[in-house]
Structure formats: C-alpha cells, structure tokens
Chains A and B, each alone.
Chain A
C-alpha cells in the first residue's frame, strides 16, 4: 500500500523563524512529488520534484527531493503570518498514460505567530 507520511503534523513558530517540513514516502512506480499550500479552500501548487538533489526555490520557499532515501523537505525562511496554512505533500505514481493518481500525506499545519 502506498504511503506518504508528513512530519510534524503541526508546528507553531514566530515570525522570522525558519521551518523545515518533512515528507517521506513509500510508493511503487514513483513519478514525482508535489507540495501544496492549503489555506481555507483548495490547495495551491508550490513545487513539483522529479529529480534527486535539485533544489527548487520560489521566494522564501525551497524544496528538495532525495529519491534514494525516499523523502523531501520544504523549507520556509523568514516566516510571515501569511505562511500559516496546511502544507500538503503528495506523490504521483506512474499508472500508464499521462494522467496519474496522487496520494496525499496528512499535511503539516503551520501556524506563524506575530
């Protein structure tokens, strides 16, 4: 059975802190790993990672994938109250064709206090 495990499940920090969110997975026919930010409604896309060791950055957010150890981390530097959200990790697997299923982790609830 495919598994995606995120840790910690929740985290409370102060503005300006740096946080690291973890995602480990056990999935057959791995295709890619995706990170999403979910506030009140639907998740918004952050990163898609397919290759090991290549860091992806977007402003204060960055992420990297280790396909040997089967995990990914999402870093947020200089956190702001607007970063407060649930961060979801999802793994896509090859299932034939161009469309593939996502298996989501339970998410990390990040709260950034002023």
Chain B
C-alpha cells in the first residue's frame, strides 16, 4: 500500500538553529504533499501545501520565511523550521493524497530548547 516515510521521527534542537524534516512517498509519486502541525491534545492544523516544482501555498498565519518548504521531486518534500524557538515545539506531520484517502507520514516530534 501507499507509504509515506517521514524523517526524523523526533529531534531536539537549540533555540536559533534550523531543523529540516523530510517526507518521502515510497511507492508512488506525489505532486502535492501537505504539512500539518499538531499541538498536544489538539487537532491537526494545515500549515502549507507543497507543490512539486513550484512554490508552496501557505495557510493564513503561517510564516513562509520561517517554515521553508521545498518539493524538488515527485517523491520528496522537505520542511525546514528556521531559527527555531521553543514555541515551535510541536508534532509535524506530512501527508499525500491517494485515491482512497490521504496517507500520513509517521510524524516528527520537534522539541526546541
């Protein structure tokens, strides 16, 4: 079945540094991937839509310069949290669309200290 691999599964970084999260579609090509964040006990909030070969589309209130998205190939999208701060600590999940519904990556737990 369709598999989306996300890496790393967890990361701790110092405040002010940047962190890159990768999302790969392993057995299908994904022209579009979606990035979500989830705070504890809250639902998934869409951050941006990643489009292969073009600029990402960001949701209202999401800083595009802080959350850099690159979708350079049909199987890889990356999210870079730049100059991370403790308030960026969250669970980040990517997903891609399949005909029977969306498939999610395993998520990345980011902790900024």
Interface residues of A (CB under 8 A from B): 32, 34, 36, 41-45, 48, 88, 90, 98-107, 109
Contacts and interface: CB of A to CB of B under 8 A. Distances in A.
A106 B104 contact: no
Nearest to A43: B104
B107 A106 contact: no
Classify the interface of chain B: helix, strand, loop or mixed: strand
Interface residues of B, number: 23
A10 to B, nearest CB: 10
B105 A42 contact: yes
Interface of B: 6, 9, 31-32, 34, 41-46, 49, 93, 95, 97, 100-107
Most buried by B among A41, A90, A98: A41
A4 to B, nearest CB: 9
20 contacts: A41-B106, A41-B107, A42-B6, A42-B93, A42-B104, A42-B107, A45-B101, A45-B103, A88-B43, A88-B44, A90-B44, A99-B32, A99-B49, A101-B34, A102-B34, A104-B43, A104-B45, A106-B42, A106-B43, A109-B41
